[in-house]
């Protein structure tokens, strides 16, 4: 059975978010004195899908970070619950870290992300990446090696996804198109993804384009008598906050 998987952006799906400002006490200085960390192998991939390390709380302690004065770090907490099968829910929680920064992804990736990564102790077999969500960069810890990487992609094609937002204050509707890349997986990639889903139903996965987490979603849960595990042959990535040119660059890099 051929199936396509649509990935929806839902970091911390099903959970509440209680943000607390970490402005007091965290070190923000105009001079850049902190050493920077090199990019991880997964951040250098054109495309990757990785398991989120939801059970590792790397921000339980506030990191000591030196960053530009216009950047603001906020620590918070979250709780999440995700169905993983009939009558079964996965519940987890921990601390979050977001960086408000208006300088754009390229500056964030070059000037801020390496310093935050160097200021946080992460376990072996994990990597700290970032997703842009509502104007802030949210840290996402993923497990390495990834489930899928560029080697498991046959090709990528560009499209759009219609997105509708409704302002709850005035009922005003805003429509826009989000650039997408449909990735066709190799048979080996389909096999790897099916094996992960079978062993980890409902567990969160991060989908990464050029080192940037573009979406997170739970792996499909086991439902009734549906074929298990699902055989997923294409992956639709929605590049929210990016341009059509960005999507075209990802697609070109995946062509063989």
| Domain spans, the chain | 3-254
Q: pLDDT-derived band of residue 73, with 50, 70 and 90 as boundaries?
A: very high
Average pLDDT in the chain: 86
pLDDT value at residue 23:
39
Residue 228 predicted with pLDDT over 70:
yes
Q: pLDDT-derived band of residue 135, with 50, 70 and 90 as boundaries?
A: confident
Average pLDDT score over residue span 53-73: 91
Residue 124 predicted with pLDDT over 60:
yes
CA distance 137 to 73: 9
Average pLDDT score over residue span 163-170: 85
CA distance 150 to 146: 10
CA distance 58 to 137: 16
* Contacts (Cβ under 8 Å, ≥6 apart) of 173: 164, 165, 166, 167
Q: Which of 22, 7, 1, 80 is nearest to 236 (CA)?
A: 7
Residue 28 predicted with pLDDT over 90:
no
**Bridge partners, residue 77, by sequence:** 18, 95
Residue 4 predicted with pLDDT over 70:
no
User: Which tokens hold the place of 191?
Assistant: 């096999």
Residue 195 predicted with pLDDT over 60:
yes
Report field, pTM of the whole predicted structure over 0.85: no
């Amino acid at each position: 059975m051929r199936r396509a998987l649509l990935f929806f952006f839902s970091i911390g799906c099903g959970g509440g978010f209680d943000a607390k400002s970490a402005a007091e006490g965290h070190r923000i200085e105009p001079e850049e004195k902190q050493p920077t960390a090199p990019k991880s192998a997964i951040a250098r991939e054109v495309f990757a899908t990785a398991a989120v390390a939801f059970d590792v709380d790397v921000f339980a302690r506030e990191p000591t970070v030196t960053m530009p004065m216009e950047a603001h770090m906020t620590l918070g907490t979250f709780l999440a619950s995700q169905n993983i099968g009939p009558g079964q829910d996965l519940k987890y929680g921990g601390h979050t870290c977001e960086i408000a920064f208006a300088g754009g992804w390229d500056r964030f990736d070059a000037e801020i992300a390496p310093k935050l990564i160097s200021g946080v102790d992460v376990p072996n077999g994990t990597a700290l990446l970032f997703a842009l969500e509502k104007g802030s960069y949210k840290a996402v810890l993923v497990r390495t090696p990834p489930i899928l990487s560029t080697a498991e992609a046959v090709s990528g094609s560009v499209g759009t996804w219609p997105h509708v937002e409704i302002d709850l204050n005035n009922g005003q509707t805003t429509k826009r198109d989000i650039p997408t890349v449909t990735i066709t997986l190799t048979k080996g990639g389909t096999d790897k993804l099916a094996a992960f889903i079978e062993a980890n139903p409902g567990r969160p996965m991060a989908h990464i384009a050029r080192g940037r987490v573009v979406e997170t979603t739970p792996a499909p849960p086991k439902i009734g008598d549906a074929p298990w595990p699902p055989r997923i042959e294409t992956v639709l990535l929605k590049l929210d906050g990016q341009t059509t040119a960005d999507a075209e660059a990802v697609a070109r890099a995946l062509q063989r």
